[in-house]
Amino acid sequence: MAEQRKKYGGAGHRNPNRKAYDGHVRPERNRPLPPDFRDLYIRHGWNAQYFLATNWRVMVRWIEEAGGDELRAARKEWLASKGAARIVNTRHVKGWTAEKLEALHRR
């Protein structure tokens, strides 16, 4: 043990010249932009992350890599051509729909 400390320096038992195991080395730091991302984003918006099995941080990076504002404008144009200015999700607060809450506040 004392010889190991002298040989490698310090109290650690790790060889500084060790090679990484195959399973512990990442091939790339960032996941590359998929070739069909632009089409998926235009058709599905942020729900494309479920088709691509990724998270919002990667989606933000991919949107910027795929064109940023130009891609967002293409998505907006596609939605307008389908007759939907935007998709509105119905939010429920403890069983109250948005319509019920709005009617309650109008009184």
Per the listing, tokens 């080395």 go with 25
Per-residue pLDDT band at 64 (split at 50, 70, 90): very high
Rounded mean pLDDT of 72-98? Answer: 73
Rounded mean pLDDT of 70-83? Answer: 90
pTM over 0.85: no
> How does the average pLDDT of the chain come out, rounded?
76
Question: Is pLDDT above 60 for 78?
Answer: yes
> How much is the pLDDT for 87?
55
Cα gap 63→73, rounded to integer Å: 12
